[in-house]
Amino acid sequence: MSITVLGIETSCDETGVAVVRDGELLADVTATSMDEYARYGGIIPEIASRAHLQQMVPTINGALEKAGVTLDDIDAVAVTAGPGLIGSLTVGVSAAKALALSLGVPLYGVNHIIGHLAVDELVDGPFPEKFIGLVVSGGHSSILRVNNIANDVSELGGTLDDAAGEAFDKVGRLLGLPYPGGPHIDRLSQVGDRAAIRFPRGLESGKNKEKHPYDFSFSGLKTAVARYIEGCEARGEEISKENIAAGFTEAIVDTLTSKSLKACQAFDCDTLVIGGGFSANSRLRALAAERGEAMGINVRIPPLRYCTDNGAMIAALGYALVKNGAQESELDLSVDTNMDLDRITM
Ligand code: KG4
Ligand code: ZN
């Protein structure tokens, strides 16, 4: 029997709607309010919520049209229930409830972070029996152990302070780059010298190293970059933004790749799946592939357009849930801004 799932994503600033049929992506349409935030230096939740409200119906219609299906073809609706911004999540969940109720189909309120991994199945084929997931975004840097994406996910570790993307955005500000700083630092780092400045890795020695094998801490690194820039300025030296970007990127990417690949070894997994907005980073992609190959670990990272927030990731997870006979969500489900990463549905 054929299964068609509509996925809705509105956790942050992207209104994403996608249609997945039998594991195949038929359409993925995204509207974003990101352009409005450059002048504020960060997302304004109220603006994001209003933009979702305006974009929701046109984006749903756009996805259905592109997929060549009608609402009558939809067998289930999946929607991001958390983690994310409360107003943004509420708009998406309200739309999904209305659709599921009116169509008489099951509703699945799903975890956004796990969706960042699920989308990879649409591109790189079925997941192996178990794998390690690394989700790196503006709000999260987490290592997950996945035995079954539909019913058995556990959190091995995560950031104790800033997420990787967040650290990039903060250092972007220090370097006077436009918001969001991540892509700009990525571009500068490609022409910088990675070995010119060695920034601290965080949790890299002593008790902390033992206590936090799969955790990250990036706020000390951000402070180290600030101190480095201040030092140069005090000495009247010109700073090299390229070398700072390259050294800073190396510190973060070194930690992300070594800890997640170590988790693969520790839990006997031959596959690492990487997702989230930060996985667009070119150095992360290159170093993960290089180290994975040396260790005999298959590193799967979806193409760039599936790394940032989108509806496909939610439709993919929804499809996996339906296929595995997972329990549907109640129609009175609420959103959870801090949704636990061990929790796949609400
Ligand atoms: O997953 P995402 O689209 O939104 C969240 O759920 O947070 O991730 C956005 C984050 C931002 O912090 C942005 O600066 C970062 O991902 N980012 C990058 C790159 N592209 C996006 N960071 C480093 N290098 C990039 N190429
Ligand atoms: Zn995300």
Number of structural domains the chain divides into: 2
- 199 occurs within a structural domain: yes
Reported for 200-205, long-range contacts at CB under 8 A and 24+ positions apart, including other chains, are: 200/224, 200/251, 201/251, 201/254, 201/255, 202/251, 202/255, 203/160, 204/255
For residue 180, whether the previous peptide bond is cis, meaning omega lies within 30 degrees of 0, is: yes
Q: Which ligand is nearest to the CA of 285?
A: 1
Ligand 1 contacts (CB < 6 A) are: 12, 137-139, 165-166, 168-169, 180-183, 186, 276-278, 280-281, 308-309
Does residue 13 sit within a domain? yes
Does residue 296 sit in the same domain as residue 196?
Answer: yes
Q: Do 228 and 189 belong together in one domain?
A: yes
Expressed in angstroms and rounded, the spacing between residue 33 Cα and the centre of ligand 2 is 15
Element (H, E) at 329: none
CATH classification at residue 63: 3.30.420.40
Question: Are 291 and 173 members of one domain?
Answer: yes
Q: Is residue 335 part of a domain?
A: no
142 and 269 within one domain: yes
160 and 46, same domain (yes or no): no
170 and 235 fall within a common domain: yes
What pLDDT shows up at residue 139? 84
Residue 18 resides in a domain: yes
Task: Give Dmax (Cα) for the chain.
Answer: 71
Considering the domain boundaries, does residue 290 fall inside one? yes
pLDDT in single tens digits along all 346 residues of the chain: 899 999 999 999 999 999 999 999 999 999 988 888 878 878 899 999 999 999 999 999 999 999 999 999 999 999 999 999 999 999 999 999 999 999 999 999 999 999 999 999 999 999 999 999 999 988 889 999 999 999 999 999 999 999 999 999 999 999 999 988 999 999 999 999 999 999 999 898 888 888 999 999 999 999 999 999 999 999 999 999 999 999 999 999 999 999 999 999 999 999 999 999 999 999 999 999 999 999 999 999 999 999 999 999 999 999 999 999 999 999 999 999 999 999 999 9
Range of the domain at 310: 4-123+306-324
